[in-house]
Structure 1
Amino acid sequence: MVEKLIAFSMRNRFLVLLVAAGIFAWGIYSVKTSKIDAIPDLSENQVIVFTEWMGRSPQIIEDQITYPLVTNLQGIPKVKYVRANSMFGMSFIFIIFEDNVDTYWARSRVLERLSSIGNSLPEGVTPTMGPDGTGVGHVLWYTFDAPGMDLGEQRAVQDWYVKFALQNVQGVSEIASFGGFQKEYEISIDPNKLTYYKLTVPDVMRAVKTNNNEAGGRKFEMSDIGYIIKTTGYLKSIAEIENLSVRTQNSIPIKIKDIATVQMAGETRLGIFDYNGKGEAVGGIVVLRYGENADEVIKKVKTKMLEVSKGLPEGMKFNIVYDRGELIEESISSIKHTLIEEMIVVSLIVIVFLFHWRSAISIIIQIPITIAASFIVLNALDISSNIMSLTGIALAIGVIVDNGIIMAENSYKHLAIRQAELNELRKGEPTDGE
């Protein structure tokens, strides 16, 4: 079979060169379209389900949330195992699927099962799925450089302006905010006053909830003009909250300011983000979507940041604290230089040892063609160009030229044997004088 293939190639040299040129061109295209990342994604194929029930102990979270969810999620097809973690006010469930399962198929199966759980969870508790990212999806971290700006204001800019803008970038799964204070109205109830007026905490909660709402009416026409009737009831200031009536006793309304203190505060935090020991900072984490090109997404995010920075408050700007794009560029540049150096060294060694330029060219030309063809396989298997894959190609250069050297040496050997046989035949032939 091999002899027939070699004979066919020798008889059809132009066709072989044409096929090699086609493979090389296809390989160059694959190099340009290959996904680029610094590190390979070796994380498990998982879907994360997050449930929040603040104020409850880990044991209650385990009994009333984690256990019912785990027992319902275990029957999903193609699931290897289910892991769970319960902590104060939060429950995390990790559903690990088989490696060959499509990520979005797995997420749809989990979503179907979550919708069928029904009344097995406490009232008001809703489990949510985590972003469709991977364990190495944190590709860029940024903070805000805003001297003199309050941490609450910085977090508000992040949550209500920057986050929504960057989430629109193609390939971004989530923008996770961190640091600062999430602004909220805080009602500090005096228990002694609450007892004096014979009220309860649910009474105060009910008063705030019922008065923080907007109801729609209908349209009516008068003098050929249509009017829309509605009530505007959303709370907009501390004074409006203070003047809410909780109950009326003896024709006298008991307002929230009579039993509590209302102020603007930040949500309770479980930690802070400190930047280089200079104090707290506010920022976000760009999470890469599963299967996307990390290098391309990072460039798009940076371009979007330039647009977003035009709308930031005066004196506020982005400060990138972690950028995998730099690591990707350094890694790819290092591998490129290594590949070029190895190709040059191997070519020189081949020329020196064979000392025949036609044989050396036939061997050296295999290097770029084989390297280009390897990217065709990487793209077909959806493997990114990273440190591991490119280093494997660099290490394989010696193996690539081995085949050509062996074939050239074997050809020289057979030609030498054939030449010796011809010389022996010539010696045995009669001369003209004989």
Structure 2
Amino acid sequence: MIERLVAWALANRLTIYALSMLLTIGGIGVASRMPVDVLPDLTAPSVQVVVDAGGYTPTEVEQLVTIPLETTLNGAPGLRRIRSNSTTGLAVVTLEFGWTTDAAEARRAVSERLGAAAGALPDDLPPPVMAPASSVMGEIMFVALRSDTHSPMELKSVADWTVRRRLLAVPGVAEVMTIGGDERQVQLLVDPGRMSARGVGMNDVISAMEQASATRSAGVVVENGQELLVEGVGRAETPEAFGEVIVGEQGGVPVLARDIGDLRVGEGLKRGTGSFNAQPAVIFAIQKQPNANTLDLTEQLDLVFADVQRTLPPGMTLETQVFRQADFIDRAIDNVVRALIEGLVLVSIIVLVFLASWRATLVTLAAIPVSVVSALIAVSLVGGTINTMTLGGIAIALGVLVDDAIIVVENIVRRLRLAEASPEAERPPVVQVVASATAEVQGSIVFATLIILLVFLPLFGLTGIEGRLLQPLALAYGVALLASLAVALTLTPVLGRDVLTRGDRALGREPRWVVGLKARYVRLLSGLLPRWRALSALSLALVLAAGVGLFVSGRAFLPEFNEGSLTVNVTTLPGTSLEASDRAAAQVEAVMLAQPEIATTARRTGRAPGDPHAQEVFASEIEAALR
């Protein structure tokens, strides 16, 4: 069968060239459109349910919110594990589903149960909500909004009502969390004495103020052939308007809100602060949707930031060079690509040195581009991305990709040299020489390739996050290796037929040092064969030593990455107030900024409203960008 394939390739050289060119060009086109990321998508199908529990203590949150939620949501189809986090004023329940569960189906199953879960929660709490679907490496960017002339309240208002809304409208953005600044509120500071004097209770005040700012539909009025829209405008927008709200009555006289207390515009209760370079700021944490291209999304966000900056009030500035996952991706991919190029150059030099023919080297290296693009096409077909694992698989396969071609080319060159040395009348046709030379080594290259593939076959049986991480590497390596085998049996003989036989000195001569090296190897092998027992014992000892070294070496799921940034966690004693924790973290931030290696810092102390990143007020997280 393989001999017929080689014969067909030699008889249809133009077809082989055309197919190789189409595969290469098509692969380059596919690779240019593939998403680029640091690692394969490691996101397990999961759904987060968040409940903002106001001023409830952690114990109350657990008993009144978390446990009822877990009880209702447990048993959802495909649910693998459920875990929760109960903190002051926040409950986060995370439901993890099986790896084969469709993410949309998982969210639908949770959504169906949330209606029943809402009825089991206290009446004064908002209904539970599902956090937007995001990737496990979803935080792709931190951005700071700062100003030296505007108040924290003005910063927060612009951040929430202008910048955040623009960012959420960008396709691929899952969520934008803001922390820092002061939320603008109209506050009624009630006086218990004035309330008691007018016979108004706190529940009356709360009920009246909840209904004070609302616009009701009043329908239409038809008169004289005209239809007039009636609008019930009841939305209060200023403290004075809230002061006119009726909260009760005394002796038939309405009691207004301003009669029982003072109204003002003040800052709301907050559980977190933010800063940029040790100065108060609003920090945006931007999360991407699963399968979104981080590099493309970052480019779109940069355009949006530039547009938003032009519309901001004078004195407000968006700092976008805080943390950018795209920068790390660029560095990681560049490093792997550089390793690929260096490996390609080394392989080229070694092949050229040992084959002593630039034509033979060219024929051998032709296997690399076809094999690489074949691997990228296969990764794209299964929905993968270009990442360090797929490129790593190609990188470690780079030396192996030319093995089959080298064996075929070396044997073709050897047979052509023998034919060239024979009398002209006895020389067989070139096509016959190339075909027979390829057929001589076909069994060796096929079995060698299959044995190497068997080593990687168990990786496809891995499940969970290990399978998601390592299978792209095995797929890229395996497809590239199979493609190199196909090239060695088709394109390599065709190129050998057309390139190695052109010119009188096309084949060159085998260097003398290579001949001498072969002679020394023959003498060495002849001396070792009688001592096979000692050689086997030495080999076994080396294997045992390698096993011991493997056993005592360190272990880690992933190697350390140089992202060009640092994440520093500052944790004070539990019970520390937000103000004290903010001051302590600010001191740490100032010390970090004094180091010449630190370019910028962005700090988040506590948590943002509704953020499933359930960090207590006594904890801070500082992102430091390195120069």
Residue 49 (str. 1) matches residue 49 (str. 2): yes
- Give 1:16-55 correspondences, 5 Å limit: 16-55=16-55
AA of the residue aligned to 1:356: S
Deviation string 1:339-371 (CA, Å, 9 cap, x unpaired) is 223222211211111112332112111112212
AA of the residue aligned to 2:291: G
Residue 299 (str. 1) matches residue 262 (str. 2): no
Deviation string 1:373-415 (CA, Å, 9 cap, x unpaired) is 2211221222221233223322221111222223333445666
Structure 2 partner of 1:138: 139
Structure 1 partner of 2:213: 212
CA distance 1:210–1:269, change in 2 (3 Å): closer
- TM-superposed CA distance for 1:418, in Å, is 8.2
- TM-superposed CA distance for 1:92, in Å, is 0.7
CA distance 1:118–1:331, change in 2 (3 Å): closer
Deviation string 1:58-115 (CA, Å, 9 cap, x unpaired) is 2222223222222222222222111111122211111111223232222222212223
- Mapped partners of 1:129, 1:94: distance in 2: 10
Structure 2 partner of 1:404: 405
- TM-superposed CA distance for 1:173, in Å, is 1.4
- Mapped partners of 2:144, 2:362: distance in 1: 54
Structure 2 partner of 1:91: 91
Contact (CA 8 Å) 2:36, 2:385: kept in 1 or not?
A: yes
Structure 2 partner of 1:430: none
Structure 2 partner of 1:259: 260
- Mapped partners of 1:304, 1:122: distance in 2: 41
Contact (CA 8 Å) 2:178, 2:283: kept in 1 or not?
A: yes
SS at match of 2:211: helix
Structure 1 partner of 2:475: none
Q: Which 10-residue stretch deviates more, 110-119 or 55-64?
A: 110-119
SS at match of 1:162: helix
- Give 1:415-434 correspondences, 5 Å limit: none
Deviation string 1:10-32 (CA, Å, 9 cap, x unpaired) is 34333322222222122101111
Q: Which 10-residue stretch deviates more, 117-126 or 305-314?
A: 117-126
- Mapped partners of 2:254, 2:221: distance in 1: 34
Structure 2 partner of 1:429: none
- Mapped partners of 1:3, 1:98: distance in 2: 47
- Mapped partners of 1:110, 1:358: distance in 2: 64
CA distance 1:262–1:361, change in 2 (3 Å): same
Structure 1 partner of 2:277: 276
- Mapped partners of 1:415, 1:227: distance in 2: 98
Question: Structure 2: which 5+ residue stretches go unaligned?
Answer: 428-627
CA distance 1:267–1:118, change in 2 (3 Å): closer
Structure 2 partner of 1:432: none
- TM-superposed CA distance for 1:230, in Å, is 2.9
Residue 187 (str. 1) matches residue 191 (str. 2): no
- Mapped partners of 1:32, 1:326: distance in 2: 18
Structure 2 partner of 1:13: 13
- Mapped partners of 2:363, 2:29: distance in 1: 23
Q: Which 10-residue stretch deviates more, 10-19 or 288-297?
A: 10-19
- Mapped partners of 2:293, 2:311: distance in 1: 28
- Mapped partners of 1:243, 1:7: distance in 2: 96
Deviation string 1:189-217 (CA, Å, 9 cap, x unpaired) is 23344344443211111121233222332
Deviation string 1:146-198 (CA, Å, 9 cap, x unpaired) is 22111111111111111111222121112222211111112222334434444
- Mapped partners of 1:356, 1:381: distance in 2: 40
- Mapped partners of 2:346, 2:353: distance in 1: 11
- Mapped partners of 1:224, 1:297: distance in 2: 54
- Mapped partners of 2:13, 2:78: distance in 1: 50
AA of the residue aligned to 2:361: A
In angstroms, what is the RMSD of aligned CA positions? 2.6
Structure 2 partner of 1:354: 355
Structure 1 partner of 2:312: 312
- Mapped partners of 1:260, 1:92: distance in 2: 37
SS at match of 2:275: coil
CA distance 1:257–1:118, change in 2 (3 Å): closer
Report which structure shows greater RCO (CA 8 Å, sep ≥6). 1
Contact (CA 8 Å) 1:26, 1:373: kept in 2 or not?
A: no
Structure 2 partner of 1:80: 80
SS at match of 2:306: helix
- TM-superposed CA distance for 1:250, in Å, is 2.4
- Mapped partners of 1:309, 1:315: distance in 2: 10
Structure 1 partner of 2:290: 290
Q: Which 10-residue stretch deviates more, 156-165 or 5-14?
A: 5-14
Contact (CA 8 Å) 1:49, 1:93: kept in 2 or not?
A: yes
AA of the residue aligned to 1:201: M
- Mapped partners of 1:88, 1:147: distance in 2: 32
- Mapped partners of 2:100, 2:24: distance in 1: 30
- TM-superposed CA distance for 1:422, in Å, is 9.5
SS at match of 2:137: strand
- Mapped partners of 1:150, 1:325: distance in 2: 32
SS at match of 1:134: coil
- Give 1:328-339 correspondences, 5 Å limit: 328-339=329-340
AA of the residue aligned to 2:383: D
- Mapped partners of 1:183, 1:27: distance in 2: 54
Contact (CA 8 Å) 2:150, 2:315: kept in 1 or not?
A: no
CA distance 1:411–1:71, change in 2 (3 Å): farther
Contact (CA 8 Å) 1:47, 1:95: kept in 2 or not?
A: yes
AA of the residue aligned to 1:85: N
Structure 2 partner of 1:165: 166
- Mapped partners of 1:76, 1:415: distance in 2: 69
Q: Which 10-residue stretch deviates more, 87-96 or 252-261?
A: 252-261
- TM-superposed CA distance for 1:128, in Å, is 0.7
Q: Which 10-residue stretch deviates more, 414-423 or 22-31?
A: 414-423
CA distance 1:421–1:94, change in 2 (3 Å): farther
- Mapped partners of 2:101, 2:140: distance in 1: 24
Contact (CA 8 Å) 2:41, 2:291: kept in 1 or not?
A: no
Structure 2 partner of 1:61: 61
- Mapped partners of 2:373, 2:384: distance in 1: 15
AA of the residue aligned to 1:122: P
Contact (CA 8 Å) 1:179, 1:273: kept in 2 or not?
A: yes
- Mapped partners of 1:263, 1:143: distance in 2: 29
- Mapped partners of 1:421, 1:109: distance in 2: 78
Q: Which 10-residue stretch deviates more, 198-207 or 226-235?
A: 226-235
Task: Output the TM-score relative to the length of structure 1.
Answer: 0.89
Structure 1 partner of 2:542: none
CA distance 1:283–1:421, change in 2 (3 Å): same
Structure 2 partner of 1:370: 371
AA of the residue aligned to 1:107: R
AA of the residue aligned to 2:88: F
Structure 2 partner of 1:101: 101
Q: Which 10-residue stretch deviates more, 360-369 or 61-70?
A: 61-70
SS at match of 1:348: helix
Give % identity: 26
Aligned residues: 424
- TM-superposed CA distance for 1:300, in Å, is 0.9
